[in-house]
Amino acid sequence: MAEAVRQELSALAAIFCGPHEWEMLSCSETDGAVFRIHTTAEGLVGEDVPLELVFHLPAGYPLCLPGVSVSSEHLTRAQCATVKEKVLEEARKLLSEPMIHELVLWIQENLRHVLSQPETWSSSEKCPGPESPAVDDGLWITLLHLDHMRARTRYVKTVEKWASELRLTGRLMFAGRTILLLLQGDRSNIKEYLILQKTSKVDVDSSGKKCKEKMISVLSETKVQTEHKRFLAFEVKEYSTLEELQKEFETAGLGELFSECVLGLVKRSE
């Protein structure tokens, strides 16, 4: 983790030092840092709206966008989604520099204006906290198997670009000769990703000419359940052992998916 990011985390912990304002959820060199900030912002009629903000700073931050989750019992699900979109728009303006404190200040100063937009009132349901299974009613998770990557660097960059543009999170996983792609997000966005994957020239053939992905297969597609982990970012990871890969799935609440769809696939490729 870069020293600038360490300093930012230290500064944030000092700024949000009130009771229950700051909570570090996880921090590692490979997965980055995930933390929660509790704050308030002015609502439509001048009331204080409590907000729970979860940020994920991936290994490439601040050269890449942080993951953001917004929740509040006082807002609808549509309002939470709109606030998140606006925050990410601001984050794009601040790429390459520490930005979390500025993003929190932006929310505090602009929540009332964001809520005044008509489209934020499209749902009458409240937006529950992140521990509630109702948060991600529209969230799906799809597991894909990619047969090979000859032009790996370019292929990976393309996958990362599509995932970012379609607001998909998850993992691109390399385990020996097995390549798996785990996508989490809106189902329509996942379907759009699949169209891109199958119709675009993402790799090269044996002669070095650009070619489409013809051997991709969908191993599983399901709605996110209570026990499933909510991925806050899209990451590329490599696993040196089958046990490491299995642990990744189990940590994400996908142990059964690993046993049913992945275990045999990896063993056959060895």
Dist CA 63 CA 162 (whole Å): 17
Residue 46 domain-assigned (yes or no): yes
Answer yes or no: do 102 and 173 share one domain.
Answer: no
pLDDT above 90 as % of the chain = 37
Tens-place pLDDT, residues 221-257 = 888 887 888 888 899 999 999 999 999 999 999 998 8
Answer yes or no: do 203 and 160 share one domain.
Answer: yes
Tens-place pLDDT, residues 60-102 = 888 888 889 899 989 988 898 899 999 999 998 998 889 999 9
Tens-place pLDDT, residues 114-126 = 998 765 444 434 4
Half-sphere exposure of 2 (CA within 13 A, CB side): 13
Structural domain range at position 255 = 139-269
Q: Which two structure tokens, joined as six digits, stand for 18?
A: 């009130």
Domain total in the chain? 2
Helix (H) or strand (E) holding 9: helix 3-15
> pLDDT category, 52, cuts 50, 70, 90?
very high
Answer yes or no: do 7 and 118 share one domain.
Answer: yes
Dist CA 120 CA 29 (whole Å): 37
| Buried b or exposed e, range 120-143, using 16+ CB within 10 angstroms | beeeeebbbeeeeeebbeebbbbb
The CATH number of the domain where 165 resides is what?
Answer: 3.30.70.100
Dist CA 95 CA 99 (whole Å): 8
pLDDT above 70 as % of the chain = 91
Around Cβ 256, how many Cβ atoms within 10 Å? 12
> pLDDT category, 267, cuts 50, 70, 90?
confident
Per-residue DSSP letter, 121: G
